[in-house]
Amino acid sequence: MLTSIGRAAIRRLATATATVGNAATSSRRIAIFQVVARSPVRQLNVAGSSFNLVRSFATRGRPKADTTATGKSKTTTAKRKTTTKSKTTTAKGKTAAAKKGTKSKATSAAKPRQRKKKKPLTDEKKATLQRKELKKTALFDEPKGSPESPWRLFIAEHTQGKSWKPDDLRSNMKQLSDAYKSLSSSELQRLEKTAEQNKRANAVAYKAWVESLTPDQVRAANRARGLLKRKYNIPKGQAKHITDERLPKRPLTAYSLFTRARWSTGDFSSGGGVRTTSAAIGQEWKKLPEAEKKPFYDLQKAELERYEKEVAAVYGRSLTPPRKEASA
């Protein structure tokens, strides 16, 4: 039999368990309390046990809240992991894109630029470029001298600062010619003296200009001047070569030495012209025996040796022997 205290505890327990909400679980807890209450050993601790059971009951009633919290935490953790993965994936994508960009930049930088193919030069363009280069090599910047003759000096003095039309040039030159012929002796002497002074001054200026150049430059300039005259008729007048005493004089051939010797004898002073005389000397050289030609070939050899020494001294190089001319 339960005491009044035990019955009151059971009633309180039943009321408390009813508010928790689970009927089957509450009846099971009540049965357990009845067994415990009937035990004489436990009767004194019924009240304390009921409080412990209520605590266990309350603890058993929280799983849903705990589960929800756990689910939320799991969901949050999953979201964080997903976010981390997405960030990692994004970072990897950016890194890969950066690497691709770097590779593409490196590839584009490594590729050489394709140069445009130059159009082949036409013959006219080639000729223009050659003329320009030859004019540069020809050194046409030599000093312009003053008039070296009384007539040229007279013309320069009377035409300075005047511009004549081509139609008036002929008549004006005739007037100047008549005026020059009627000059007084004193005026003519003045012109002759001034012209002589100009000649000496021109020689000094020209020599200084030539010596400012190297022998190789002078040699190349003379070659360029000759080529300009032959191919392009530049200048239209007489082609003047640069006179440089430092340059080696080319050796004379045996035939040239023979021609000089024949001209010096005076046998052809009677006349006949240079062309007729040269043809006659050529016929003599053809008929000349080899024994009589030998002295001239010896002189030719000496000329060649002299020229080789001068070339070595002036240009600092050896000379390739020129081709020996066949005897006529």
Same domain, 199 and 266: no
Same domain, 127 and 226: yes
What's the half-sphere exposure (Cβ side, CA atoms, 13 Å) at 265? Answer: 10
Same domain, 227 and 162: yes
Q: What is the pLDDT of residue 52?
A: 45
Inside any domain, residue 41:
yes
- Give the domain extent around 154: 123-232
CA distance 51 to 42: 14
Single residue among 34, 60, 86 that ends a domain in this structure = 60
Inside any domain, residue 98:
no
Q: What is the pLDDT of residue 182?
A: 93
Same domain, 129 and 187: yes
Inside any domain, residue 70:
no
Same domain, 167 and 214: yes
Could you tell me the end-to-end alpha-carbon distance of the chain, in angstroms, rounded to an integer? 172
Same domain, 193 and 133: yes
Same domain, 53 and 139: no
Q: What is the pLDDT of residue 322?
A: 53
Neighbours of 274 (CB within 10 A): 9
| DSSP letters for 173-228 | HHHHHHHHHT--HHHHHHHHHHHHHHHHHHHHHHHHHHHTS-HHHHHHHHHHHHHH
Q: What is the pLDDT of residue 117?
A: 76
CA distance 276 to 278: 6
Is there a contact between 243 and 210 (Cβ–Cβ < 8 Å)? yes
CA distance 6 to 44: 9
pTM over cut 0.85: no
Same domain, 133 and 223: yes
**Burial class of 210 by CB neighbour count within 10 A (0 to 12, 13 to 18, 19+):** buried
Mean pLDDT, all residues of the chain: 76
Same domain, 148 and 226: yes
* Cα–Cα nearest to 230, from 134, 101, 147: 134
Is there a contact between 198 and 145 (Cβ–Cβ < 8 Å)? yes
Residues of the chain where predicted confidence (pLDDT) is lower than 70: 1-6, 8-10, 13-112, 320-328
138-196 residue pLDDT tens: 999 999 899 999 999 999 998 888 887 777 778 888 899 999 999 999 999 999 999 99
Q: How many domains does the chain have?
A: 3
